[in-house]
């Protein structure tokens, strides 16, 4: 098998996909805007089409993360996929979201684009990442400040560990038979943010509570964090969907594809916090 190009190779799922592949002896080409001295890294910028063809040389499959912070990424991704096909790339696995359905515009447009452009494909549609509770994202800052602020109300989400996403994505990239499907990925239990806050408090001994605000208030809060207005509005709308119950479900996809049960939220908190 030729190398697999991992876009967003230094990100949350990209690093884990790369590790999954290397453990199985698969060559990895890490695409990043700022490559280091590692020979496995190659410069890649969605906004610079001249970086696309060199990154695709000798590649058999692509793990694709859309441009971060772009509300309608298809116009940037479409010419890249066309270039990939010209270079003989057969398979693409794209990271989407369980909350975003296939659509004509926005992130959902990528699902049809990959399905209709690539000979072999898979769409990963994970629920909200457990990793959002750590690091430097707004939610993680809220956790450290002791108050999780969302527009979700009592709505529940089956948070998923990025390691489990990478396990399914890795199989979708290398399994002999192409998956050619969308994978809805969740953790083993749906939780409200109030329940998640209670688990964090119980496991860490720190005071953490949940406060609900309106979607408009959340969008303004995200803009204050530096997120573009259109992207902040989309994120706030997703919170409102959670409030309506659209994410209160659990799937067995991780177990079926990766052959192991997904990590629970409590297990994640014990390890990461």
Q: Is the pLDDT of residue 190 over 90?
A: yes
Q: Is the pLDDT of residue 253 over 90?
A: yes
Which token pair is 29?
A: 């080409």
User: pLDDT digits over 124-145, tens only?
Assistant: 999 999 999 999 988 999 999 9
Q: Is the pLDDT of residue 105 over 70?
A: yes
Nearest of 122, 13, 109, 102 to residue 61 by alpha carbon: 122
* pLDDT at 29 (0 to 100): 97
Q: Is the pLDDT of residue 1 over 80?
A: no
* pLDDT at 2 (0 to 100): 84
Give the pLDDT mean for 244-251. Answer: 98
pTM value is: 0.95
**Do the domains spanning 3-126 and 128-159+187-248+261-273 agree at the CATH topology level?**
no
Q: Domain ranges in the chain?
A: 3-126, 128-159+187-248+261-273
* pLDDT-derived band at 69, boundaries 50, 70, 90: confident
Alpha-helical (H) ranges within 87-161 are 109-117, 138-145
Residues 45-82 as b/e (b if ≥16 CB within 10 A, e otherwise) read: ebeeeebbeebbeebbbbbbbbbeebbbbbeebeebbe
- 61: number of CA atoms within 13 Å, CB side? 27
- 122: number of CA atoms within 13 Å, CB side? 24
Fold of 128-159+187-248+261-273: UDP-galactose 4-epimerase; domain 1 (3.90.25)
User: pLDDT digits over 145-159, tens only?
Assistant: 999 999 999 999 999
Query: What's the CATH code, domain 3-126?
Result: 3.40.50.720
Give the pLDDT mean for 192-204. Answer: 98
Give the pLDDT mean for 117-126. Answer: 98
Return the minimum-mean-pLDDT range out of 135-144, 188-197, 259-268.
135-144
**CA gap 205, 158 in Å, rounded:** 23
Strand pairing of 156-157 and 191-192? antiparallel
* pLDDT at 150 (0 to 100): 98
**CA gap 193, 139 in Å, rounded:** 11
Name the average pLDDT for the chain.
96
**CA gap 74, 105 in Å, rounded:** 8
Which token pair is 50?
A: 């001249």
Q: Is the pLDDT of residue 85 over 60?
A: yes
């Amino acid at each position: 098998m030729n190398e697999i190009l991992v876009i967003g190779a230094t990100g949350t799922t990209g690093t884990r996909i790369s590790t999954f592949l290397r453990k199985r002896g698969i060559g990895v080409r890490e695409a990043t805007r700022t490559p280091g001295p590692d020979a496995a890294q190659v410069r890649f910028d969605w906004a610079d089409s001249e970086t696309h063809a060199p990154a695709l040389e000798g590649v058999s499959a692509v793990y694709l993360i859309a441009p971060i912070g772009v509300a309608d990424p298809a116009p940037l991704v479409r010419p890249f996929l066309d270039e990939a096909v010209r270079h003989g790339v057969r398979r693409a696995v794209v990271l989407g979201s369980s909350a975003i359905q296939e659509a004509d515009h926005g992130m959902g447009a990528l699902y049809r684009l990959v399905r209709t452009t690539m000979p072999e494909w898979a769409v990963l549609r994970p629920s909200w990442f457990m990793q959002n509770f750590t690091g430097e994202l707004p939610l993680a800052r809220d956790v450290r400040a002791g108050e999780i602020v969302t527009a979700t109300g009592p709505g529940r989400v089956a948070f998923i560990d990025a390691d489990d996403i990478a396990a399914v994505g890795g199989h979708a990239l290398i399994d002999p038979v192409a998956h050619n499907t969308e994978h809805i990925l969740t953790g083993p239990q749906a939780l409200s943010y109030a329940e998640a806050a209670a688990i964090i408090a119980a496991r860490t001994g720190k005071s953490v509570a949940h406060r609900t605000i309106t979607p408009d208030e959340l969008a303004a809060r995200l803009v204050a964090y530096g997120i573009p207005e259109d992207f902040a509005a989309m994120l706030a709308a997703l919170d409102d969907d959670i409030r309506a119950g659209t994410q209160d479900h659990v799937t067995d996809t991780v177990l079926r594809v990766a052959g192991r049960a997904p990590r629970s939220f409590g297990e994640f908190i014990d390890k990461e916090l």
